[in-house]
Structure 1
Amino acid sequence: MITPSPDPRDVADVGYRDVPDDEGGSAARPWWDAHAAEYLDEHGAFLGDAGFRWGPEGLTEDEAHLLGDVAGARVLEVGAGAAHCSRWLATRGASVVATDVSAGMLDGAARLADATGVAVPLVQADARALPFADASFDVVFTSFGVVPFVPDATRVHAEAARVLRPGGRWVFSVTHPLRWAFPDDPTLRGLTAHRSYFDRRPYVETDPAGHVVYAEYHRTVGDHVRDVVAAGLRLRDVVEPEWPAWNDQVWGGWGPERGAYLPGTAVFVTTRD
């Protein structure tokens, strides 16, 4: 999971189970609105130090070049959070628009733009229904945004394909699917599988009234591949960052102990032919 610890005052039950798609799919906006400040306080320095990280391992776009040459390119970030990645791209000559479903996260992006002096256009939008014209971007990407938080990720891929120009790239990072079979424990205790990799029930948190307040969805590697192919995209690469020796931070279920043995992040690189 990629969440901070749930507030026990808000959460009465957690676990893996099926919930109605409308409940699970609508939980992300209020959850991130409520937890944006906490999330940025906890992880903002790590995210901002290098400007564009693909996951908790710390792999940067400057190292990986998964988006290609962005100078002069029109780029869209979906699930941008506080738009750390978008601001970094703007300093590299890209024309960037950052979107997120959460007003709380976009407020954080605006504050950081004021603090850093680097601003990009911010749009509150659901990545499953983007307010942009067909074939209007050269690159669309998200770093741990959107895809894990909706039951219908096929709509996200379809929208990315729709707004991409021919030859454009859609790149997204998610929790490595293998990690879902293991407990959310960054220590060596987290190396024992405790549930089936093929159990696709989402991780769900509910409030005392039984309402879904958080939902995160698991897809296997094959599921992700089939989803992007169904959107008319061509899979070019799957990057599985190794845990680097310099990174001693613990972030949820990620950390150097378990990171030495198990992948924690998968980055899918696709293009629209």
Structure 2
Amino acid sequence: MTSSLPSDGSGPPPSALGRTAHAGYHDVPDAEGGRAGRSWWDANAEEYTGEHGDFLGAADFCWCPEGLREKDARLLGEVTGRRVLEVGAGGAQCSRWLVGQGAHVVATDVSAGMLDVAAALDRKTGARVPLVQADARSLPFADGTFDAAFTSFGAIPFVPDAARIHREVARVLRPGGTWTFSVTHPVRWSFPDDPSLRGLTADRSYFDRRPYVETDAAGHVVYAEYHRTLGDHVRDVVAAGLALTGVVEPAWPADNAQVWGGWGPVRGAYLPGTAIFRTYRPD
């Protein structure tokens, strides 16, 4: 996906369930699960953006449902004049904000539907972001092209082989370039997708790595989301030749009443919902 943020570690927004005959945690062929994201986001792009557009803004950089904004967090550091890549950009809201900060940005997403939304937001705001349709596991850029890369809940949860994303990002970064990515906090996969107090009781093993999968009446995978433990994420980053500099776990702010899938102020007071990994390519 996208900078449009997630559903939850336990599945997509309820709007997706009309196409679903079965939902649960089970293994599926990697090729089938890995390509489901493109068609799902194509089909749901406009509805998803309509539902969450006010929270995300048209030209704002939001890292997570907790509402952490890059203007406050500055996780990318100074961006003026830097070449920046957004992976899984969705509506490219984050990239549009970066353009306003003087960065030279390219936004990529696998979904043509989400890129159509991004183009419409360009027209609405008057800010132009170069948009490229690309699978994050095979980026169409030369080695060492970018000073920084990031994704806000994009791509990584929706493929069975996220290690390939990290390798590709490492390849297109210059030495010293940074890769920052936010994902559902891995501990959340042990809990049901419920923002109320009922969502505070663990009901599955943290170590159960079977993906959350939805299939249609014919048994075809229409949505797949993959769980990785904290250790899995770290191993994937290190194996790609990147160095980890820190993990940010945003607390739920008192002034955020937004409920987004399994995220919300009730559960957010007790459990982390997001993990943001900060890495760089060593010289």
TM-score category, normalised to shorter length: over 0.9
Gaps of 5+ in 2: 1-6
Residue 206 of structure 2 aligns with which residue?
A: 197
**Secondary structure, aligned partner of 2:57:** helix
Q: Taking structure 1 as reference, are residues 8 and 239 closer, same or farther at Cα in structure 2, changes over 3 Å only?
A: closer
Q: CA deviation at 1:54?
A: 0.5
Residue 38 of structure 1 aligns with which residue?
A: 47
* Equivalent position to 2:146, from 137, 149, 167: 137
Residues 1:27 and 2:36 aligned together: yes
Residues 1:235 and 2:206 aligned together: no
The answer to whether the 8 A contact 1:101-1:125 is kept is: yes
**What is the rounded CA distance, in whole Å, between the counterparts of 1:9 and 1:260 in structure 2?**
31
Residues 1:103 and 2:104 aligned together: no
**Secondary structure, aligned partner of 1:27:** helix
Residue 146 of structure 1 aligns with which residue?
A: 155
Residue 113 of structure 1 aligns with which residue?
A: 122
**What is the rounded CA distance, in whole Å, between the counterparts of 2:244 and 2:18 in structure 1?**
43
**What is the rounded CA distance, in whole Å, between the counterparts of 1:174 and 1:201 in structure 2?**
17
Residue 191 of structure 2 aligns with which residue?
A: 182
Residues 1:257 and 2:266 aligned together: yes
Q: Which string of whole-angstrom CA distances, capped at 9 and with x for unpartnered residues, describes residues 53-96 of structure 1?
A: 11000001111111110000000001000000000000000000
**What is the rounded CA distance, in whole Å, between the counterparts of 1:183 and 1:52 in structure 2?**
28
Q: TM-score, normalised by structure 1?
A: 0.98
**Secondary structure, aligned partner of 2:222:** strand
Residue 176 of structure 2 aligns with which residue?
A: 167
Residue 79 of structure 1 aligns with which residue?
A: 88
* Equivalent position to 2:276, from 256, 267, 272: 267
Q: Taking structure 1 as reference, are residues 105 and 50 closer, same or farther at Cα in structure 2, changes over 3 Å only?
A: closer
Number of residue pairs matched? 273
**What is the rounded CA distance, in whole Å, between the counterparts of 2:58 and 2:258 in structure 1?**
13
| Structure 1 stretches of at least 4 aligned residues deviating more than 3 Å after TM superposition | 6-9
Q: CA deviation at 1:119?
A: 1.1
Residue 125 of structure 1 aligns with which residue?
A: 134
Q: Percent identity?
A: 72
Question: What letter is aligned with 2:158?
Answer: F
The answer to whether the 8 A contact 2:37-2:224 is kept is: yes
Q: CA deviation at 1:161?
A: 0.1
The answer to whether the 8 A contact 1:50-1:60 is kept is: no
Q: Which string of whole-angstrom CA distances, capped at 9 and with x for unpartnered residues, describes residues 1-45 of structure 1?
A: 432214444100000000000000000000000000111001111
Question: What letter is aligned with 1:243?
Answer: W
**What is the rounded CA distance, in whole Å, between the counterparts of 1:120 and 1:7 in structure 2?**
28
Question: What letter is aligned with 1:172?
Answer: F
Gaps of 5+ in 1: none
The answer to whether the 8 A contact 2:42-2:113 is kept is: yes
**What is the rounded CA distance, in whole Å, between the counterparts of 2:16 and 2:201 in structure 1?**
27
Question: What letter is aligned with 1:113?
Answer: D
**What is the rounded CA distance, in whole Å, between the counterparts of 1:49 and 1:116 in structure 2?**
7
The answer to whether the 8 A contact 2:147-2:178 is kept is: yes
Question: What letter is aligned with 1:23?
Answer: E
**What is the rounded CA distance, in whole Å, between the counterparts of 1:35 and 1:253 in structure 2?**
19
